[in-house]
A and B are shown apart, each in its own frame.
Chain A
Amino acid sequence: MNKTIPVIVGFVLAVGPALPAFAQGTTTQPSVNFCTRVSREINQQVGQRILERETKLKERRGERETKLKERRDDRQERLREYRDRRDLRRDEHYTKLEARATTTAQKAAVVTFQQAIESAVSARKAAVDAANSAFKSGLDTAIVNRKTAVDAAIATLKSSLDAAMAKAKSDCSSGVAPATAREAYRTAVENARKKFQDDMKAAEKIRDTVKTLQDTRHAALKKALDDFKMAVEKARTDLKAALGK
């Protein structure tokens, strides 16, 4: 037992330096086989992988379209229901208010109040709808633009890969060393990959566009809210003054 460990250590020390040579011999094997693989196996595998990713991307985009539409429809319905309910509620308020007005001046004040409130409500609805519409169309446009950019990046990548594959096949058939042909192919692939990644980074700038859309909408909604509150408060003050309260 005591002698076993030194023997193992000695063996490793003796054989260790030779291991890289074995490893090198192993890695050179793909280069040797590259030319036999490039025309069938590699070409087929690359095509299959790209096809799978394209299918996945298409599915993902389909999901986005469905979910986004569902969310928008649901929100629109909730907003419509809210507005209908509030319209009825205001009518109820106006009826009660009219019932309390006894003099001609008071009745006129109530009518003025009602007109002021309804005007403010209409203005708010219009402002909100405009802000929503602008955001929606802006987002849709951004999504389409991004899709175009991404599709272009993928098309460029595929084109570059096809060119790299064609050159590799040409190199192999014209007697270029397999290792050289393989190295040229790998370099071309890496360049294509880098170009794709740069293109994707550019496509990701959609976030800035979307942020701008959000900020614009937020500002529009805030203004609509402030304007509405101001108009309603004025109507309150005017009505109370007319009613003598």
Chain B
Amino acid sequence: MDMDEKEKFETVLGEAIRLMEAGEERAAILARFSDFQKELSEAFRIVDRFSLFGKDIKPEKALLQKIIQEIGAVTPVPEKRFSSISSDSKGRRLFANPLIQIHSFMNMQMKYVLPIVAVFVVAGGVLYMNYGGVSPQVAQNTQVTSEPAGTESAAKTSDTTATKAAVPASTGNPDEIVDDIIVSLAEEEAILNDANSDADFATYDSAAASEFGQLSYE
């Protein structure tokens, strides 16, 4: 592609992109610029490919080289391809957009996203320590006072301790005292009701015993 053709192609490409953005069918655009059908098809394919990949994906190096070779309007800058868009690229910015966006995003990530993430992590840590979780000090105290983990009784003791700790201090108010006594009965009732299931053990051997009547004795 000589310089005249390059300039012509740039003009055609800019027009083609404008038409495409205006909603014209690609087939119609290709038909309109029949001299550059091959180049335009390639350009559309590349645009499609970037669109599918999304913003966070860098284009393949070979593909980028192909763009540069086919279009020849971008100044190649080794090792700095994401900053190699020429100032007069015109409509090429559309399919150069993903590159620009990747570049912009990386810059933004460095400038804004990382500090924001850092602030959130620190804030989250502070909230967790104060409200959402158990502070290391409390955890340490709990570990010292609780029984060895892994046993049912230890878990129950821990629950009980938590329940006890959650009970507010007595105020000496007669109503509150009596209400507290009555409310506590629910816990006792739950324990007592558990005994109802013991009745199921009365017939625990039914299936095993019944098998004697189902055997073949021949």
Contacts and interface: CB of A to CB of B under 8 A. Distances in A.
Given A96-B171, A117-B181, A189-B218, A78 B201 contact: no
B191 A79 contact: yes
A200 B177 contact: no
B202 A210 contact: yes
Nearest to A229: B182
B189 interface: yes
A150 B209 contact: yes
B167 interface: yes
Contact of A57 (B164, B209, B217): B209
Contacts of B182: 229, 232
Interface residues of A, number: 80
Size category of the binding interface on chain B? 35 or more
Contact of A60 (B187, B196, B204, B218): B204
Interface string B128-169: 000000000000000000000000110010001000100101
A236 B175 contact: yes
- Which of A67, A161, A209, A232 has the most C-beta atoms of chain B within 10 angstroms of its own C-beta? A232
Given A81-B160, A132-B192, A150-B205, A46 B217 contact: yes
A135 B169 CA distance: 37
Given A93-B177, A207-B203, A232-B178, A196 B212 contact: yes
Interface string A164-187: 100000000000000000000110
Contact of B208 (A60, A235, A239): A60
Given A93-B177, A99-B172, A236-B178, A53 B212 contact: yes
B205 A142 contact: no
**DSSP class of A's interface residues: helix, strand, loop or mixed?**
helix
Contact of A200 (B184, B191, B213): B213
A77 B151 CA distance: 15
B178 A143 contact: no
B184 A89 contact: yes
B199 A214 contact: yes
Contact of B172 (A77, A85, A97, A236): A97
Interface in A75-113: 75, 77-79, 81-82, 85-86, 89-90, 92-93, 95-97, 99-100, 113
Interface in A116-164: 117, 128, 132, 135-136, 139, 142-143, 146-147, 150, 153-154, 157, 161, 164
B215 interface: yes
**DSSP class of B's interface residues: helix, strand, loop or mixed?**
helix
A239 to B, nearest CB: 5
A23 B194 CA distance: 59
Contacts of A245: 174
A244 B78 CA distance: 94
> Which 6 pairs from chain A and chain B are nearest by CB?
A96-B172, A64-B204, A236-B178, A57-B208, A60-B208, A93-B177
17 contacts: A49-B215, A53-B215, A60-B208, A61-B204, A72-B198, A93-B172, A95-B170, A96-B171, A153-B212, A200-B213, A209-B202, A228-B185, A229-B185, A233-B178, A240-B174, A240-B175, A243-B174
Interface of A: 42, 46, 49-50, 53, 56-57, 59-61, 63-64, 67-68, 71-72, 74-75, 77-79, 81-82, 85-86, 89-90, 92-93, 95-97, 99-100, 113, 117, 128, 132, 135-136, 139, 142-143, 146-147, 150, 153-154, 157, 161, 164, 185-186, 189, 193, 196-197, 200, 203-204, 206-207, 209-211, 213-214, 217, 221, 225, 228-229, 232-233, 235-236, 239-240, 243, 245
